[in-house]
Chains A and B, each alone.
Chain A
Amino acid sequence: MSGTMNAGARRGIGLLADPLILSGLVLAGLVFGMPLLKPVFAALFPGLDRPLYEQDSFLNLTIAHVVLVGASSAISLVIGVLAGVFVTRRAGREFRPLVETIVATGQTFPPVAVLAVAVPLLGFGAAPALIALAIYGLLPITEAVVAGIESVPVGVREAARGIGMSARGRLLHVELPLAAPVALAGVRTSVIINIGTAAIASTVGAKTLGLPIIVGLSGFNTAYVLQGALVVGALAVFTDLAFERLGRRLDRWKRDSA
C-alpha cells in the first residue's frame, strides 16, 4: 500500500519536474485561483483598499489575450508562409531581396511604435492591436519560412524532381515539411513577441492581460500590477515551453521519417 503510494507520489513529482507541466499548472492556478490569493495580496499590500483586480475575471482577460494573439498569429502565419513560398519560387525571386530588406528593417522597429501608429489609422480598440500584431508577427515568420525552404538540401530537391514530382508536389510534400522545424522557430519568436505586445495593447484600448497592469500603474495599485504581470509572464513562459516541445517532436518526426 505504502509502496504504491510512493510510486504514485514519485510519478507526481516526476511530472512536476517537467517544466512544461509545471508552468502549465502555475498558469492554470493563477488564472483560476487568483480570487483565493486575495488574503495573500491583502497581507502583502496592507495599504490598499482593493488588493485584488476584480473589474474582470482573469479567465476572461486570459481568453481575450489568447484570442487576440491567436488570431493575429494565424493571419501572420498564412501571409508569412505565402510570402516565404512566393519569394523562393522562380516568379517571385526578383522580390526576395526587397522582402528581406523589409523583414530586417521592420524588425528593428520597436513593437510599441507599430502599435502606436496603428491607432491613428484604425482608431482605438482591438482592431488596431490585431492589425499591428499581425503585421509585426509576419516578419519573423516570413524570415523563418524563407530560411527553412533554403535549408532543404539541393540533393533532396533534385531527387524529388528526378522521381517526377510536380512543382506543386515538391513544395507540398518535400520543401514545406522539411522547412517546418525552422519555420516553427520563427512562429515561436513571433508568438512570444506578440504575447508581450498584446499586453501593451491595453494602452490603446484592447482588453488583454495588460489591463490590470495599466490600471494598477495609473492608480498606484501595485497588487493589480503584480497580478497582471504574473499571469502574462506565466502565459509567455508556458507558450514558449510548449513551442519548444513541439519543435522537438517535429525534429524527431523528421529524423524518423528520413
Chain B
Amino acid sequence: MSAALSAGGEAAAAPDAAPFNPVLLLLVVAGIAGAASLYPLTRAPNRLLAGQPVPWSAVIEGGRALVMLPALILVGGIAFPRRRGIQFLVAAAAALLAAALLWLAGDAALRLADPAAPAARISFGGAFWVLEAVFALAAADALQRSGMSPAARLALGALLAVPLLLVLFSGAADSLSILKEYANRRDVFANALTRHIEIVGGTLVPTLLIGIPLGIAAFRRPALRGPLFSVLNVIQTIPSIALFGLLIAPLSGLVALLPALGSIGLSGIGVTPAIIALTLYALLPIARSTAAGLEQVPAAAIDAATGMGMTRGQVFRRVEAPLAFPVLVAGLRVTLVQTIGMTAVAALIGAGGLGALIFQGLAASAIDLVLLGVVPLVALAIAADVLLKLAVSMLGRNRA
C-alpha cells in the first residue's frame, strides 16, 4: 500500500492533507441532493409548451436503475483521495454513468411516447443536467488526482466522452425532444453547422495572413508596437454585436457606390461583414502571440546561428520561426475559441451558423431548438480548445 502510494504519482501530498476526497464527497452530496429535489425529465404536449415533471419511478422502473451501479464506485472513491488506480476507476465510472443516464432518459422517452399524441415532447429535467455536470466534474477531479501530465489528461478526458457519444449515435436517445428537433431539421442543422465552420475557417485565413506579418513587424520595430496593439485592443473592447452593427452602414454605402463590389459578394449583412468583423477581433491574439513568440527566442540561439554563417533570412526561417511556433499555436487556440463563440452572434446580421438556431429558438420560445444550437456550439469550442492545448503541449515536448 505504501509502495503503491509512493509510486502513485500523487502530486503535492501535504502532510496534513485530508484522509478522504472532499471534492468527490461534495460532488456526490450535490448529485444526491439534485437527483432527490429535481425531476429527471419533463413531458410537454408540444415543443413550445412548458413540460410537466416525469418522476424517477417512471424512468428507472423494471430494474433499469441497475445501469447506475457504477455510482457505488464514485461513493467508494471518496475514501481513496490519492491512490492512482482508484482515480482511473472513478473517472471510468463517471464516464459510464454519464452515458447510462442518457440511455435511461432516451429509454424512458421511448416508453412514455404516446402514439395518440405525436406532438408530445420529453425533455431533460433539472436532475439530468445536475447529474451530468456532477459526472463530468468527478471525472475531471479524478484525472487531476491521477498525477498524469496535462496532455495525457486531455487525451484521456476526450476518450471518456466515447460512451456518451456511443449512446447518442446508437439511436437510443432519439425519442428525446432535442433529437426530435434535430430529426425534423436535419438539413437546417447540417447547413448551420457547415456555415458555422465555414465562417470560422474563412476568418482564420485572413487573420493568419495579416496577423502574423503584423506580429513580425511589431517585433522588429518596437516603435510600431504601442500604436498597433492600442488600436487592436480598442477593437477587442468593442462588443461584437456593436462591431457587426457598425460595419453594416459603411459596407452597404460602399456597395451602393461601387456596385461591382456587390457582384463579388460584398454587402452590409451576411457572411462578408461577419468575416471582416471576426478577423478584426482575431488579429490581436494572433499578432500578439507572434510577437511574444519571437521575443522569447533566446539571443544565444540567434547568435549561434549567425556565427554558423546563416543569413538573416535563414536565421528567421530555421531558428526564430520554429522556436516562436508553439507560442503562436497557443495564440491560435485563444483566437479559435473566441471566433467560434462570436460567430454565433454573427447570426444576428444574417450570416447564419449555429447562432441562427439559437436566436430562432429564443424568438419562438422553442427551448429545444435553442439547445440544438447551444450544445454543438459548446462542443465545437471545447473540442478546439482541447485539440490546440494538446498541440501546444506536444510542440513543447518536442522542443525540450
A interface with B by C-beta (< 8 Å): 44-45, 90, 93-95, 97-98, 101-102, 105, 108-113, 116-117, 119-120, 124, 192, 195-197, 199-200, 203-204, 210, 213-214, 216-217, 222, 225-226, 228-230, 232-233, 236-237, 240
Contacts and interface: CB of A to CB of B under 8 A. Distances in A.
A229 B242 contact: yes
A160 B23 CA distance: 30
A110 B237 contact: no
Contacts of A113: 341, 344, 358, 374, 377-378
Contacts of A110: 340-342, 344, 377-378, 381
A210 B359 CA distance: 14
A196 B241 contact: yes
B248 interface: yes
Q: Which of B17, B349, B359, B382 neighbours the largest number of chain A CB atoms within 10 Å of its CB?
A: B359
30 contacts: A94-B17, A94-B18, A94-B21, A97-B144, A98-B140, A110-B342, A112-B341, A113-B341, A113-B344, A113-B378, A116-B361, A116-B370, A117-B370, A119-B362, A196-B239, A196-B241, A196-B242, A199-B242, A200-B241, A204-B362, A222-B249, A222-B252, A226-B249, A229-B245, A232-B239, A232-B242, A233-B238, A233-B243, A236-B237, A236-B239
Contacts of A200: 239-241, 345, 348
A116 B358 contact: yes
Interface in B1-60: 14, 16-18, 21-23, 26
B367 interface: yes
A183 B363 CA distance: 38
Contacts of A192: 237
B374 A117 contact: yes
Contacts of B145: 97
A105 B258 CA distance: 45
A240 B249 contact: no
Contacts of B23: 94-95, 98
A101 B140 contact: yes
Interface string B338-371: 0011101100110000010011011101010011
Nearest to A202: B241
Contacts of A203: 348, 359, 362-363
A93 B363 CA distance: 44
Contacts of A112: 341, 344-345, 355, 358, 377
Contact of B382 (A105, A119, A199, A225): A105
B248 A225 contact: yes
B6 to A, nearest CB: 20
Given A108-B382, A192-B237, A196-B240, A116 B248 contact: no
A222 B17 contact: no
A53 B41 CA distance: 44
A21 to B, nearest CB: 16
Contact of A199 (B241, B349, B361): B241
A79 B352 CA distance: 36
Contacts of A199: 239, 241-242
A45 B252 CA distance: 11
B337 interface: yes
Contacts of A97: 141, 144-145
A141 B11 CA distance: 26
Contacts of B358: 112-113, 116
A105 B383 CA distance: 11
Contact of B234 (A102, A120, A237): A237
B246 interface: yes
A180 B337 CA distance: 28
Contact of B144 (A45, A98, A232, A233): A98
B341 A111 contact: yes
Contacts of B365: 124
Interface in B40-93: 81
Given A95-B23, A112-B377, 8 more contacts: A120-B370, A199-B239, A216-B245, A225-B245, A225-B249, A229-B241, A232-B239, A236-B239
Interface string B228-258: 0000011001111111111011001000000
B137 A102 contact: yes
A210 B241 contact: yes
B106 interface: no
- The 7 residue pairs across chains A and B that have the minimum distance between CB atoms: A110-B341, A196-B239, A229-B245, A229-B242, A225-B245, A120-B367, A97-B144
Contact of B237 (A225, A228, A240): A240
